[in-house]
Structure 1
Amino acid sequence: METNSTDQFFKNTVLGHPSGLFVLFFTEMWERFSYYGMRAILVIFLTGVITGDNPGWGWDKPAALSLLGTYAMFVYLTPIVGGWLADNKIGYRLAVVIGALLMTLGHAAMAVETPTFLYIGITLLILGNGFFKPNMTSIISKMYEGRNEKKDGAYNIFYMGVNAGAFLGIMLCGWIGENISWSYGFGLAGIFMFLGMLQFYYAQPLFGNIGAKPKNENRDLIDELVDTSDKDKSKKENLNPFLSIDYLLVGVFIISALIFIINDPLSKIGNINVLNITIAGMTDSLFFALLAAIIFIIILAVRIPRYESVVRDRMIAFTIFCIFTIFFWAAFEQAAGSLPLYTRDFTNRVLEGNASLIFKIIDAIVTVVPIGIITYVLISLFRKTFSKISLSNIILAISFLIIWALVIYKLYINFSAEAKEVEITWFAILNSLFIIIFAPLFTKWWDSKYNPPASVKYGLGLIIMAIGFGLLAFAARNVPLGAETAKLSMIWLVFAYLFHTLGELCLSPMGLSYLSKLVPPRMVAFMFGVYYLAIAIGNKMAHYVGGDIEKITEESGLSHFFLIFTVVPILLGLVSFALHPLIKKLMHGVR
């Protein structure tokens, strides 16, 4: 087979796409199952009471959210290294298998429920994610080379797998963790990660040479950063090699960032400070966080002006989008930290009588229908590929038999109880559910003549998300200062997740899209790192601020806490609208 030929993949299709796409669909689904399933119960478990049949660890909220924030930050940084290793050394397919295996071991370690194994587990999850995350989409890109008209549909199908995995993982790991055992919840995430790895490994004959170990002719990293060839004079003139000052600034940035990233959880969990100093009235963690932020801005300010004018302007435009991205995720990612705590402590989740019955019916429908649709896709894949990858299909079938058994058991338990206390994690599945419902509508909007410009999309994303927090602030307006519990209506949470999702659909898909449009190919790797760094900073900031929910509630009230995530995004959204003429000029015709 010729490496650049994709015709063979379209000879045996499922729903009009190569069968290999659906192998990737299910592999990514199990990985997202494990990631979101674990994340859904981590903070609830860490901060849960230490008594009862299913005790938590009784951690302080700042400590739990600091650990979550550091984990989430590294989740978005390690793929930069993992992607490079796959591109240049080991290939996409081996990287996916290694990543899946490391994450399986990570979930197994967390299921032991001791501090040592918790940290080992989180470390393995971070490393595994670095190998896994960037390389699934790389395989799709190679599979669809020369078929751009099919690529959008392929990624839509793939991202349905992402949301299906998040939906199932949060629902089942959350339900089992809260109702049966936290260990079983963590362990279930690992079981499906392991099955997903086996299913992918035994399906490799479908991919031909795609994702295999790269050959020696691939250029190394230095060649990619600095091309000293004289063959293309114009290209050489536009290059921007790293100077001594750049390396110095990058070194200071990395050291400052690592001190903050490591010291923040250590100081809050174990009362251990790396330097144990106070600088300008700030703790060492806060000082080095601010120093890293300032140095990073200086790096961009030093490097970007060196490019020729059009490239420089477009990179400035993309950098502005990255700044908005940081603050969007700093608010949105409260869904993994402070919102579960709000759900547990301040929401009335007990339903009785007709309300309980209606919820059980709705829950059954939103559970069974998506799984039924995915099972139909699974059967279609079987029909096309069973003779070629029978073992992979058998493993996939076993996975779904387990899923159906767990779902039936869950529904049986729910309908057997007279009253229903809605699980804390149940509300988190609303994000995936709303994405599945509304994503096609947004796609049609973006494809129509009413498609708004980039700055308007970012502004809308920030403001619409802020409305969700505004609703929570309104709901909590009468909660007394320092209150530890309340019984607020759960409808506020449902609407909050709705507006958060609508905001996400406006803004989240735009980042990589504008990266590909605004940044020249030779600089994509650098700006891809900048974009992922923006998301990583946003995640860490989310839980750094979210960890103060208790302190802010005591001093200013719970409503004030949510107002922070209402006012700041709205102001930034208005700034994005106001910057439209400037950003349009900087983009030089890119839409």
Structure 2
Amino acid sequence: MGHPAGLFVLFFTEMWERFSYYGMRAILVIFLTGAITGENPGWGWEKPAALSLLGTYAMFVYLTPIVGGWLADNKIGYRSAVVVGALLMTLGHASMAIETPTFLYIGIFFLIIGNGFFKPNMTSIISKMYEGHDEKKDGAYNIFYMGVNAGAFLGIMLCGWLGENVGWSYGFGLAGIFMLLGMIQFYFAQPLFGNIGEKPKNEKKDMIDTLQEDLISKTEGVKEKLNRFVSIDYILIGAFIISALIFIVNDPLSKIGDINTLNFSVFGLENSLFFALLAAILFILILIVRIPRYDKIVRDRMIAFTIFCIFTIFFWAAFEQAAGSLPLYTRDYTDRVLEGNWATIFKIIDAVVTIVPIAIITYVLISLFRKTFNRISLSNIVLAISFIIVWGLVVYKLWINFSAEAKEVEITWFAILNSLFIIIFAPLFTKWWDSKYNPPASVKYGLGLIVMAIGFGLLAFATRNVPLGAESAKLSMVWLVLAYLFHTLGELFLSPMGLSYLSKLVPARMIAFMFGVYYLAIAIGNKMAHYVGGDIEKITEESGLSYFFLIFTVIPIGLGLISFALHPLLKRLMHGVK
């Protein structure tokens, strides 16, 4: 493909990490809220408790990379950070496989810390690998992110199938096995990277520290004054962090164990919600205080980027229902039993969408062997073992499926549709963005929100006749497939744009800081998603299931229309950035 072999080592490393992350996430809420009796019992948690834990976990997953990236940049190097992160995540998955509350929390802690080391430094290695070859960088990232989707696809399919049909411990354990294999193959492949990602030299860091004090960046040819942090900035940031942490920690504690770290209410709001609102207000104040102090062009562009971050929060607050409330809807309200010809058709489709992607990835693996076996034989052998396990599980899964007359589609099977649709439609969107019909930023954000909302609108229509408080129903799975289709199309409009516009709108010296702000927006969206999603039962009892999905239909459509309306303003604020 015209790219260095090291890229494909990173491809497979990221693939196994995403395999473990999405595989575990696919079964977590189903396991926690599952009935405590039966052949494969769950823990019988209340839905708000399970989704609160998931929301806090997802939020920290997007925050810890900020710290992990800094440590790799300044202390331990990218490669060591990836190995440490992968090892910690392996321990996390292994802990969750033990299936006790104590080991569940230990496992999630290790996953959060490990992700902070791992996640930011894979892309950093790619960036260093392609220095001086910018013309190939876009293609490299496209190949790399195919690894992300391939890992999500395989992880959800295999961990989900194993967890639902064999035992939850096996699903969590499989995620850990592939995280370990991914770490080992990366560790033994390091000779391919030369000095890329090594521990930074102290003298280089000292030089950077010295120059940073005198750094003056240029934007549009105009010298820009540094906007140094002052006392009020630190006070507001400190108060924001404290308020946010109280909410993040107290929310799951109060819902899981009835433990209230600060057991009081303010203005009639229970303490978790109060501190969440306080953190939001403080964050807005930080922006109001800091942004006006920048030079005009930088100030305007940062205001534009902040507006995009607000849209990002609400997009992910709706989209991430895929990890929380949608699996619950799939389990309780979808008719997943197929018989006769429909069962046969599904088995064939399932076999095709399973075998074809794995066959393509196996071809890439064989190509990598031919190029690198002499230099990194141990890494290649570990990869081969990984794929032998994958093919063995796939053959076993398909044999079980075809042996049964009827077929009950797994709850987690529907979650693979997101990765599948991305693989199908991403090339079409890439061609669109490269054409003269490439829409402006505000239109992309607006379309992303509205198209995603259509998916929830279809679910709202499908559930219109479900009685108030109904705990189950038998609705067609077609509605769920269509919902995932529109959610994915919305994601393709909006999600890849964030980092692209970040790099264009923000001065180079502020990329790291604003990268943190962008990931904070995604983290807030993830927590909001599961905070609201946890009330699916309560909303269903009081207003109906259709009303629950209407929330995620009306609000994104409204925000999408606002994004369209803001186009003239955003165009001015972006000062020529397209």
Task: Give yes or no for TM over 0.5.
Answer: yes
The residue that corresponds to 1:274 in the other structure is 261
Preserved contact between residue 88 and residue 220 of structure 1 (Cα < 8 Å): no
Q: Give the Cα–Cα distance (whole angstroms) in 1 for the partners of residues 31 and 396 of structure 2.
A: 23
CA shift, 1:236, in A, is: 8.3
Distance, in Å, in 1 between the alignment partners of 2:368 and 2:214 is 48
What residue number does 2:409 align with? 422
Structure 1 residue aligned with 2:180: 194
1:431 aligns with 2:418: yes
CA contact (8 A) 2:304 2:570 kept: yes
In structure 2, distance between residues paired with 1:218 and 1:62:
49
1:216: how far off? 1.2
Q: Residues 279-315 of structure 1, C-alpha deviation per residue, up to 9 Å, x if partnerless?
A: 0000010000000000000001100110000000000
8 Å Cα contact 1:335/1:428 also seen in 2:
yes
For the 8 Å contact 2:312–2:521, the answer to whether it is kept is yes
1:179-230 CA distance string (max 9 Å, x none): 0000000000000000000000000000000000011134479949962469
Instruction: State the 1:129 CA deviation.
Output: 0.2
> Offset at 1:481?
0.2
Alignment partner, residue 19 of structure 1: 5
- CA spacing shift, 1:281–1:218, aligned 2, 3 Å: farther
Q: Provide the C-alpha distance between the structure 2 equivalents of 1:258 and 1:221, rounded to a whole number of angstroms.
A: 35
Deviation digits for residues 237-272 of structure 1 (CA, Å, limit 9, x no counterpart):
510110000000000000000000000000000001
Q: RMSD over aligned Cα, in angstroms?
A: 1.6
Greater mean alpha carbon deviation, residues 530-539 or residues 217-226: 217-226
Cα distance in 2 for residues equivalent to 1:47 and 1:220: 52
Q: Work out whether 1:585 is the aligned partner of 2:565.
A: no
Alignment match, 1:265: 252
Matched, 1:248 2:235: yes
Distance 1:427 1:59, change over 3 A: same
**Matched letter for residue 89 of structure 2:** M
- Contact in 2 for aligned 1:88/1:218 (Cα 8 Å): no
Corresponding residue for 2:551? 564
1:512-564 Cα shifts (integer Å, max 9, x gaps): 00000000011111111100000000000000000000000000000000000
Q: Cα 1:345–1:258, aligned 2, differ >3 Å: closer, same or farther?
A: same
Distance 1:504 1:224 in 2: 42
Task: Output the CA distance in 2 between the equivalents of 1:176 and 1:278.
Answer: 44
Structure 2 residue corresponding to 1:394, chosen from 381, 386, 391: 381
Match of 1:443 in 2: 430
Q: How does 1:205-244 map to 2 (within 5 A)?
A: 205-219=191-205, 223=209, 227-228=213-214, 238-244=225-231
Equivalent residue number for residue 9 of structure 1: none
The SS at the match of 2:203 is coil
Aligned residue in 1 for 2:527: 540
Which residue in the other structure is 1:131 paired with? 117
Pair 1:509-2:488 in alignment: no
CA spacing shift, 1:568–1:222, aligned 2, 3 Å: farther
**What are the superposed Cα offsets for residues 318-376 of structure 1, whole Å, 9 maximum, x if unpaired?**
00000000000000000000000000000000000000000000000000000000000
CA distance in 2, matches of 1:251, 1:193: 35
CA distance in 2, matches of 1:503, 1:239: 37
1:375 aligns with 2:362: yes
Residue of structure 2 equivalent to 1:54? 40
How far 1:586 moved relative to its partner?
A: 0.2
Q: How do 1:546-557 residues align onto structure 2 when only pairs under 5 Å count?
A: 546-557=533-544
- Give runs of aligned pairs for residues 493-508 of structure 1, distance below 5 A: 493-508=480-495
Find the partner of 2:71 among 74, 79, 85: 85
8 A contact 2:216–2:224 mirrored in 1: no
Shift of 1:148: 1.2
**Does 2:102 correspond to 1:116?**
yes
Q: Structure 1, unaligned stretches of length 5 or more? A: 1-14
Counterpart of 1:3 in structure 2 is: none
Hey, what does 1:303 align to over in structure 2? 290
Decide whether the 8 Å contact of 1:41 with 1:174 is kept in 2: yes
Are the aligned partners of 2:254 and 2:260 in contact in 1 as well (CA < 8 Å)?
A: yes
Query: Amino acid of the residue matched to residue 52 of structure 1?
Result: G
Query: In the alignment, which residue of structure 1 is the partner of 2:126?
Result: 140
1:44 is matched by which residue type in structure 2?
I
After superposition, what is the alpha-carbon deviation per residue over 1:476-500, rounded to whole angstroms, capped at 9, x for unaligned?
0000000000000000000000000
Residue of structure 2 equivalent to 1:287: 274
Q: Cα offset for 1:235?
A: 9.3
Displacement after TM superposition at 1:149 (Å): 1.1
Residues 49 and 210 (structure 1), Cα distance of their counterparts in 2 relative to 1, 3 Å cut: same
* CA deviation after TM superposition for structure 1 residue 16, in Å: 1.1
TM-score by length of 1: 0.96
1:165 to 136, 151, 160: 151
| Counterpart residue number, 1:324 | 311
**1:332 and 1:265, CA in 2 relative to 1: closer, same or farther beyond 3 A?**
same
CA distance in 2, matches of 1:48, 1:260: 26
The structure 2 residue matched to 1:338, chosen from 325, 338, 352, is 325
Q: Distance in 1 between matches of 2:35 and 2:286?
A: 45
How many residues are matched?
577
SS at match of 2:493: helix
Structure 2 CA distance for aligned equivalents of residues 224 and 133 of structure 1: 29
- Structure 2 gaps of 5+ residues are none
Separation in 1, partners of 2:227, 2:384? 52
Contact 2:130–2:136 under 8 Å retained in 1: yes
SS of the residue corresponding to residue 17 of structure 1 reads: coil
Change (3 A) 1:478 1:529: same
In structure 2, the partner of 1:479 is 466
Percent identical pairs in the alignment equals 85
SS in 1 for 2:436: coil
**Which whole-Å CA distance do the structure 2 matches of 1:425 and 1:308 have between them?**
50
Contact 2:216 2:225 in 1 (8 A): no
* Deviation string, structure 1 residues 384-428 (Cα, Å, up to 9, x no partner): 000000000000000000000000000000000000000000000
Give the Cα–Cα distance (whole angstroms) in 1 for the partners of residues 425 and 132 of structure 2.
30
For the 8 Å contact 2:216–2:226, the answer to whether it is kept is: no
Match of 1:466 in 2: 453
Give 3-state SS (helix, strand or coil) of 1:217's partner.
Answer: helix
* Corresponding residue number in structure 1 for 2:338: 351
Cα distance in 1 for residues equivalent to 2:568 and 2:369: 52
Q: Which residue pairs with 1:151 in the alignment?
A: 137
Give yes or no for contact 2:6–2:192 (8 Å, CA) kept in 1.
Answer: yes
Distance 1:301 1:113 in 2: 46
